[in-house]
Amino acid sequence: MIKGGYMHSNRYDSIRAIRWLGNGVELLDQRRLPGEASYLVAKSATEVAAAIRDMVVRGAPAIGISAAYAVVLASGERFRSSPASWKQDLEVDLATLRAARPTAVNLAWALDRMLSHIPELEGDPVPTLAREAKRIHDEDVAANYRMGELGAALIEPGSGVLTHCNTGSLATGGYGTALGVIRTAFARGAIERVFADETRPWLQGARLTAWELVEEGIPVSLIADSAAAYAMRRGKVSWVIVGADRVAANGDVANKIGTYSLALSARYHGIGFMVVAPTSSIDLAATDGSAIPIEARGAEELLRFAERPVAATGAGGWNPVFDVTPAELVSVLVTERGVVTEPTEARIASLMSAGSPAPSA
């Protein structure tokens, strides 16, 4: 794993999956975990886009950070080949990156932020854009630390928590969103046990979240996705803690498929449902969840596993990889700006207003 580069008091913080090399982006290949920790170095925007599309790198914040570094690579290549027209030529690379994963709003957010610096640039664009991409990366880690503190403050000692998909260092610039809350709460002694859904069909919970927690020495029990409601009924879970790929203006949350089911079960069992996401994941242009594009991937991801068929020959498949949880099922939304209890359009608008404190009720 890529370690180091950040200072934080939490000892459960050793993993980094993205590193800028100056002439490329080093990515921990998440397709090969947990069996093998191997790295892919992407040296062009096309290669970064392929890494995002093919799940080498995944998780909304990590996708955005990788795309920001890809803009640095593309701008350098375009400037060297055609100094007079590099800004126009760059549009092709930006379009390729935007199309890589449509649901994660951080991708477009990071590209737009990088793009905002381009009109003013004269000469070699790489130094300025590299500083901005590194700033995006560093800000993400700092936001995760802040969210970890805010979310952990809500968790009572002795709790069991359940999480879905992977929201840790592998999905972000480092430390994690929902898993960052879990790291901080465990370090404080508030969490006794973490339950991780396996998260079919890519098994991000089994392959990635369980791996991260084992690496950090945090006790984790893997459960089948379909066992979550029973774990709640048995009193094993005090909080469900998840991330988000996009949050609509009214508080509806798009996240890994299966999140909606967990929210329904949590509400039925009187369990808190916590969404942890940076404000870069909030899309005020999406009025509600119906405006969020939901990515569908190939049926083969359901019908096969590790190149082996797991379904009857001739069976079809439907493979949406995200679902939308209505805002009324969200107990709290934790961002780096503060905590929103029972999010609504008005409360999220207040959160996103420049300089205004986050509402707590």
Q: Specify burial of residue 83 (Cβ count, 10 A radius: 0-12, 13-18, 19+).
A: exposed
The residue count for the chain:
361
Q: Is 176:211 a contact under the CB 8 Å cutoff?
A: no
Instruction: Give the type of residue at 307.
Output: E
* Cα dihedral sign, 31-35-37-43: negative
Dist CA 265 CA 260 (whole Å) = 9
| Catalytic site includes residue 225 | no
**Tokens at 205, concatenated:** 């919970």
Q: Is 162:231 a contact under the CB 8 Å cutoff?
A: yes
Beta bridge partners of 275: 242, 333
User: What is the DSSP code string of 186-229?
Assistant: HHTT-EEEEEEE--TTTTHIIIIIHHHHHHHT--EEEE-GGGHH
Identified catalytic residue from 13, 93, 140, 245: 245
Q: Is 8:15 a contact under the CB 8 Å cutoff?
A: no
DSSP state of 291: G
Dist CA 56 CA 53 (whole Å) = 8
Q: Which residues are catalytic?
A: 245
